[in-house]
Amino acid sequence: MLRTTLAGLMAHRLRLLSTVVAITLGVGFIAGTFVLTDMMNRGIAETFARSADRVDVAVLPPRGSDKELPAALLAKVRAAPGVTEAQGLVRGDAPLLGPNGRVVGDAPTVGLAVPAGRLLRYRMEQGRAPAGPHEVVLDPWTSRRQHFAVGDTVTVLDSRDRPHRFTVSGIIDVGIDAEASVRGAVGFAPATASAMTGTSTFTEIDAVGGGTAGVAAAAGSGYRTLSGDRLAVEISKANGADTKLIGAGLLLFALVAMLVSALVIYNTFTILIAQRTREMATLRCVGATRRQVFRGVLVEAAVVGLVGSLLGIAAGVGLGAGALSLIRSAGGQLPPADVVLAPRTALVAIAVGMVVTVLAAIVPARAATRVAPVAALRDEREPGGGRFRPGGFRIAATVLFGGAGLLAAVAGAVGMKKGEAAMYAVAGGGALVFLAVIALMPVLVGPLGRAVGALPARFGGVPGRLAVANARRTPRRTATTTIALTVGVGLMSLFAVVAAGGKASAARQVDDQFPVDYQLRAQFDRTSDRTLPAGLTAALRARPEFSAVLEARSKDARIGADAGTSVATLTASAWGTIMKPKFRSGSLDAFVPGTAIVDEVTAEGLGLRTGSRTTVATRNGPAPVRVAGVFAEGGALTGFVVPEPDFQRYFGTVAPEHAYVKVRAGVGPDAGRAALDAATRAYPTVRVQSAAESKDQLTKAIDTVFMIFGGLLGLAIVIALFGIANTLSLSVVERTRESALLRAIGLTKRQLRRMLSVEALVMAVMGAVTGVVLGVAFGLAATEAMTEDSILAVPYAQIIAFVALAGLAGVLAAILPSRRAAKTSIVESLAHD
């Protein structure tokens, strides 16, 4: 029986090609995820090892301590016996100015000490380390984004915001430094780093020579002393969480790909078993038992799974290496690494591929055992043909899963408190409804095929009507084929709806936070006050182009028994004209001296509601305050907000954190921006942002996330399209005589190709429409479950594009099967058995 099964596989290699491809793509995604994370981990570990290899001994603060190492300790380490060189690692804020003369980034770039010689911990991508007080090095992402190159002159602010000019001597890879990777880095010679950052202490002291015991004795108790190898291990552990998170996220999409692959495999084996009824019956006639037939089908599935898995491992290596290159080219601060194919990756990939394939083939294999020997004397019946009548189990499953799923989704969307738990309820409900749709899909094939095929049947002539009839006459096969596409298109539609709602909510949030034309704030800076420079708002008010300049101030203070709550205020003239909070309770009319309005999150944390009375700790002692209203979170101000005169009385003169500028009516946007730039030119640390810029940034961020999700889910759609191509290919084989009869009575080759193309189009659109309906419905439910102020939006253009692209892809998937059918000789086809 084993020889017979293997001989059958070798004789019909092409019929399983699409199944092998589906397995390859699904397994390739899983293998690629492991390869990517292994490469990232190895690259980081090797970078840490190379970095620590330059260090013989490192001195660090006690574990868990926020204190840094004093400058006097460096002298002690240098004086230790055997130490030939020692350097202290300086870290502080050193804001880099971009070509426009303003600070780069929302947070200042990190100022680092970059010593030349053996203790250079960073890899030089270009140039060399800074050799004197007038040279700096930059990280690659900052240099590319700001268009700085080796040899250029840049301006950096010191700890007192005084500008200093430097020449860029090199570009360093700061991949081992997570903070510098995010904020950007400016590296100085050690002495210059201390002067620029205003930092006289060290985060770490590295030494060459001396030995761990000797350096520890010189440093004294109270400090940790590590060897270079131990230092590499500690840094590696501290920076390894990100790769685990990335791997977990990618594996979720890999599971979706494998689910779609399983549906394709199941459909393929179902069709193959039905087509081989005579073959199975003949085997029974010559003595094969049901158990042997069952084992034979599973062996066939195992062999196909093994081949697809091995190819998937090869594909995964390429996917993982390509993904790492893509991340690096997009600006990700990841070190290069050699391709890593761990034994674990190969074992998991092969196990998943074979298990999924064998499990998907069990039901068709059981069907094969029911073939009676007498079937060898009958013509083969088309699998899944005829009218579909659902059984009691299928009806019960549909009602149970569908009802429970709808209840959970409705509860999450409208019945539960908005947030994470509500979104989980919607997600769980969506999964249950999807199971109900899988169970019900064969029943839906008829009405869906009639609706989707109405236009092709009306305007496609005889080929169109035949195609629609073909798509509807095998409900089970068509249902399994289309449901695979439903998974991918449904998830794509869901993410599109969530993204559209996110963009709409973001736009409204920007409108709430930017009730004026521009917002000014200090860079999230190195001092604790984060305030705007003195004189800035006065300079803005002096400009005739601006009709209003508002100031926002805040101060941390004790509210009742709670310490550290932010007490905020805004220029009095803004309330009711420019700033109009959305109140959950209370109103702005009651916002008078001696009162406060509180955002809903702060109110919940403090246990306050409209009418509550509490106290504010001021410079003159506790002051009684009554809550005049609770407003929605997300506006320009948050926290515990008091009138401007009260704030002045409570805390004295406090510099503003933000300024809001409204351009006078009749002044064009270009003139308004030019006036703002002129007024702020003397303040390079001030960040200027318009409402339009904020909307654009948020929209681009959401679009980027959607593109990533779309790219990952696109693999599931590709696998589903292979399933359509596979179904058509096998259908062409079983309908050989039928196609020949159609040709004999006058159907041309072109019409035959058109018939198969329309059939694929109808199946693809059926799957896409089902996915769109589910995706849009649960996308809206998920959006509603996120927050109280979520905005529901449906991206109609994207949804229509999904359906159109699915239909086009279905037609493309039918090209090879239709050409094969058209090329077959009529005489040979009529003789086909």
Q: Average the pLDDT over each of 86-95, 133-142, 334-343, 569-578 and give the range with the smallest value.
A: 334-343
On the question of pLDDT at 417 being above 70, the answer is yes
Question: Looking at the domain assignment, is residue 742 inside a domain?
Answer: yes
Q: In terms of C-beta density within 10 A (0-12 exposed, 13-18 middle, 19 or more buried), how is residue 561 classed?
A: exposed
Last residue within a domain, chosen from 329, 357, 381: 381
Question: Looking at the domain assignment, is residue 524 inside a domain?
Answer: no
- 668-679 pLDDT, tens digit each: 888 988 898 888
Q: How many domains does the chain have?
A: 4
Question: Looking at the domain assignment, is residue 181 inside a domain?
Answer: yes
d(CA 444, CA 487): 16
Domain coverage including residue 198: 61-225
Q: Which residue has the higher pLDDT, 586 or 292?
A: 586
Same domain, 108 and 215: yes
The pLDDT assigned to 378 comes to 53
Q: Average the pLDDT over each of 75-89, 402-416, 710-724 and give the range with the smallest value.
A: 710-724
Q: How confident is the model at residue 578 (pLDDT cuts 50, 70, 90)?
A: confident
Beta-strand pair 163-173/135-138: parallel
Question: Looking at the domain assignment, is residue 390 inside a domain?
Answer: no
Block residue for tokens 């401007």: 644
Same domain, 541 and 665: yes
Most confident of the following: 278-292, 457-471, 510-524: 457-471
Same domain, 353 and 278: yes
Q: Which residue(s) pair with 546 in the sheet? A: 663
d(CA 477, CA 367): 14
Q: Which alpha helices (H) appear in 745-791, and where do they start and end? A: 749-786
Same domain, 643 and 749: no
- Compute the half-sphere exposure of residue 451: CA atoms within 13 Å on the CB side of its CA: 10
The pLDDT assigned to 383 comes to 47
Question: Looking at the domain assignment, is residue 519 inside a domain?
Answer: no
The pLDDT assigned to 722 comes to 73
The radius of gyration of the chain from alpha carbons, rounded to an integer in Å, stands at 34
pTM of the model: 0.69
CB 235 within 8 A of CB 176: yes
- 130-150 pLDDT, tens digit each: 988 999 999 988 998 899 999
- 35-65 pLDDT, tens digit each: 877 777 776 666 666 666 678 888 998 887 7
For residue 529, what is the DSSP state?
A: S
Block residue for tokens 């096969």: 477
Tokens read off for 544: 């005739």
Beta-strand pair 595-599/640-641: antiparallel
Q: Which residue has the higher pLDDT, 528 or 408?
A: 408
Same domain, 100 and 23: no
Same domain, 555 and 636: yes
Same domain, 209 and 71: yes
Q: How confident is the model at residue 96 (pLDDT cuts 50, 70, 90)?
A: very high
Between CA 684 and CA 690, with CA 686 as vertex, the angle to 5 degrees is 120
Helices 241-275 and 691-734 cross at an angle (nearest 10°) of: 30
Q: Average the pLDDT over each of 222-231, 331-340, 598-607 and give the range with the smallest value.
A: 331-340
Percent of the chain past pLDDT 90, that is, above it, reads: 17
Q: Average the pLDDT over each of 29-43, 458-472, 786-800 and give the range with the smallest value.
A: 29-43
Count helices and strands in the chain by DSSP H and E runs: 27, 22
Question: Looking at the domain assignment, is residue 521 inside a domain?
Answer: no
Last residue within a domain, chosen from 662, 682, 702: 682
On the question of pLDDT at 10 being above 80, the answer is no
Long-range CB contacts (within 8 A, 24+) of 373-381: 373/281, 373/284, 373/285, 374/281, 375/277, 375/278, 375/280, 375/281, 376/278, 376/281, 376/282, 376/284, 376/285, 378/277, 378/278, 380/274, 380/275, 380/277, 380/278, 380/734, 381/274, 381/277
Same domain, 94 and 236: no
The pLDDT assigned to 50 comes to 61
Read off the pLDDT of each residue in 8-33 and give the average, rounded to a whole number: 69
Q: How far apart are the first and last CA of the chain?
A: 23
Q: Average the pLDDT over each of 176-185, 376-385, 441-450 and give the range with the smallest value.
A: 376-385
The pLDDT assigned to 753 comes to 85
- 357-410 pLDDT, tens digit each: 888 778 777 776 776 665 545 544 444 455 567 778 888 888 998 899 999 989
On the question of pLDDT at 541 being above 50, the answer is yes
On the question of pLDDT at 600 being above 70, the answer is yes
d(CA 506, CA 410): 24
Q: Which residue(s) pair with 575 in the sheet? A: 579
Most confident of the following: 90-104, 329-343, 449-463: 90-104
Between CA 77 and CA 80, with CA 78 as vertex, the angle to 5 degrees is 65
How confident is the prediction for the chain on average, in pLDDT?
Answer: 81
The pLDDT assigned to 256 comes to 75
The pLDDT assigned to 337 comes to 64
Helices 277-285 and 290-329 cross at an angle (nearest 10°) of: 140
Q: How confident is the model at residue 422 (pLDDT cuts 50, 70, 90)?
A: confident
CB 622 within 8 A of CB 614: no
On the question of pLDDT at 809 being above 70, the answer is yes
Q: Average the pLDDT over each of 36-45, 412-421, 483-492, 628-637 and give the range with the smallest value.
A: 36-45
Question: Looking at the domain assignment, is residue 298 inside a domain?
Answer: yes
Long-range CB contacts (within 8 A, 24+) of 391-398: 394/439, 394/440, 397/435, 397/436, 397/439, 398/436, 398/439, 398/440
Torsional sign, CA 688, 694, 700, 701 = positive
Torsional sign, CA 141, 144, 150, 152 = negative
d(CA 827, CA 833): 12
Read off the pLDDT of each residue in 155-160 and give the average, rounded to a whole number: 91
**CA-closest candidate to residue 348, choices 19, 26, 27:** 27
On the question of pLDDT at 286 being above 70, the answer is no
Q: How confident is the model at residue 774 (pLDDT cuts 50, 70, 90)?
A: very high
Last residue within a domain, chosen from 381, 410, 430: 381
Q: How confident is the model at residue 632 (pLDDT cuts 50, 70, 90)?
A: confident
Q: How confident is the model at residue 635 (pLDDT cuts 50, 70, 90)?
A: low
- 464-515 pLDDT, tens digit each: 888 888 888 778 778 877 887 888 888 888 888 988 888 887 777 666 655 6
Question: Looking at the domain assignment, is residue 739 inside a domain?
Answer: yes
Same domain, 68 and 52: no
Tokens read off for 573: 């003239």
Read off the pLDDT of each residue in 290-294 and give the average, rounded to a whole number: 77
Same domain, 211 and 252: no
Read off the pLDDT of each residue in 724-753 and give the average, rounded to a whole number: 74
Q: Which residue has the higher pLDDT, 534 or 337?
A: 534
The pLDDT assigned to 95 comes to 92
On the question of pLDDT at 623 being above 70, the answer is yes
Torsional sign, CA 372, 373, 377, 383 = positive
Read off the pLDDT of each residue in 83-98 and give the average, rounded to a whole number: 90
Read off the pLDDT of each residue in 415-421 and give the average, rounded to a whole number: 82
- 217-259 pLDDT, tens digit each: 888 888 889 887 787 777 666 655 455 656 666 677 777 777 7
On the question of pLDDT at 107 being above 90, the answer is no
DSSP three-state, residue 117: coil
Same domain, 729 and 808: yes
Same domain, 66 and 202: yes
The pLDDT assigned to 611 comes to 94
